[in-house]
Amino acid sequence: MKHSVSLFLLLTALFSTTAQAIWYGDQTDKEKRACLFAHMMEGDYGRLYYAVSLDGMIWKSLNGGKRVKDDYRGHPDITKGPDGSYYLIGNDEDRKVMRIWQSKDLIEWKLHADYAPDFNILPQHHTPRDVGGAPKIFFDIVGQQFVITWHGSPYPGEETPGNHRWSNMRTLYVTTKDFKKFSDPKRLFQFDLPTIDVILRRDGDLYYAIIKDEGIVGPTHTTGKTVRVTWAPSLDGPWIEPTDKILPNWCEAPTAIVNPSGKGWMVYAERYSAIRYELAVAPTLKGPWTNPIAMSYKVPEKAKHGGMINITRAEYDKLVEEFGIEE
């Protein structure tokens, strides 16, 4: 019995370590690590562009700064599945359906599935008018399932004194193992805070959510319109009250990668008031977070909302060979 317990603990530890390595594309040799940034551009909203980096700090555009896929629509976000394929999420042209593409190499993408939430089973005050709420995708290696998050509000149009669309945004999610059967949509957080652009990550024994706090900025809510972090032992929670802001106000669309050095995390977010990216780094997703000086990192000019992922150096080389890289 003692040997069985020891074997179980060993396998559990190995699984946890392996899961981290598989999900983040992490290798023992740091020279074999790289990163991909799938994003849109100012003036070409909802289209797909690529940039790559070897250190997570200096990013270079691919394909001469042109689109890499003409028929994509959405806020690009990519995850790696258990079959080794990559999955890209977006929307259809009218933003009524969430659309998932699949790729073996990050170069050729084929339409894999469409998903439209059943809003009839959502509480009425959290039913969005459409599913244009920037869906994100994450493969949960512990639950062996994909998790799709998005935000919604019962108020259509833009925020006005009588229409509190953005300050009523809440984050919803579903799970699926095969993109054929989906769980019922649910609210992700139990705390009552307007949130958008939520991405999920798993590190150690916890799930982390990196959020945009969509609350109105004011003397009693200084974290409004910025990026914060929360965590929980399971997707069902309980989620802790989010941390203080890790980036300045007026930042949104956060994305997170493991530092290619193998030490800690990097969170980028778009500072939409200036159309540029801000960076926060920390040894763990719990922090402490620091903000490198702007001159120490470079993101393609006018890059907007998107998702970053860790990839291998071999994948990086294939992308550069296929699309060409900015000099």
Question: In angstroms, what CA-CA distances link 249 with 137, 166, 225, 239, 252?
Answer: 25, 16, 5, 23, 9
Judge whether residue 5 has pLDDT over 50. no
State the pLDDT at residue 99: 95
Residue closest to 251 by CA, chosen among 293, 219, 292, 214 = 214
Tokens found for residue 292: 């490198």
Strand partners, 198: none
Residue closest to 173 by CA, chosen among 98, 265, 102 = 98
For residues 168-175, give the mean pLDDT: 91
Q: How many CB atoms lie within 10 A of CB 198?
A: 25
Range of the domain at 303: 2-323
Kindly indicate the confidence band of residue 6, based on its pLDDT and cuts at 50, 70 and 90: very low
The domain that holds 10 is classified in CATH as 2.115.10
Judge whether residue 164 has pLDDT over 50. yes
Tokens found for residue 297: 């990192």
State the pLDDT at residue 15: 38
Tell me how long the chain is: 327
Alpha carbon distance 230, 241 (integer Å): 6
Average pLDDT, the chain: 87
Alpha carbon distance 172, 165 (integer Å): 15
Residue closest to 306 by CA, chosen among 48, 106, 109 = 48
Percent of the chain with pLDDT over 90: 72
State the pLDDT at residue 238: 97
Judge whether residue 165 has pLDDT over 80. no
The string of pLDDT tens digits covering residues 13-39 is 333 433 344 334 444 455 679 999 999
State the pLDDT at residue 16: 41
The string of pLDDT tens digits covering residues 280-306 is 999 999 999 999 999 999 999 999 999
User: Could you tell me the pTM of the whole model?
Assistant: 0.89
The string of pLDDT tens digits covering residues 215-266 is 989 999 999 999 999 999 999 999 999 999 999 999 999 999 999 998 899 9
Judge whether residue 78 has pLDDT over 90. yes
User: What would you report as the CA-atom Rg of the chain, rounded to the nearest whole angstrom?
Assistant: 19
The string of pLDDT tens digits covering residues 127-154 is 555 555 789 999 999 999 999 999 887 7
Cα of 226 vs its chain's centroid, Å: 15
Tokens found for residue 152: 């919604």
170 or 25, greater pLDDT: 170
- Residue 21, classed as helix, strand or coil, is helix
How many domains does the chain divide into? 1
Kindly indicate the confidence band of residue 125, based on its pLDDT and cuts at 50, 70 and 90: very low
Amino acid at 20: Q
Residue closest to 134 by CA, chosen among 50, 37, 249, 39 = 39
Report whether 213 contacts 196 (CB < 8 A): no
Judge whether residue 202 has pLDDT over 60. yes
Judge whether residue 12 has pLDDT over 50. no
Judge whether residue 105 has pLDDT over 60. yes
For residues 157-186, give the mean pLDDT: 84
73 or 5, greater pLDDT: 73
Judge whether residue 66 has pLDDT over 90. yes
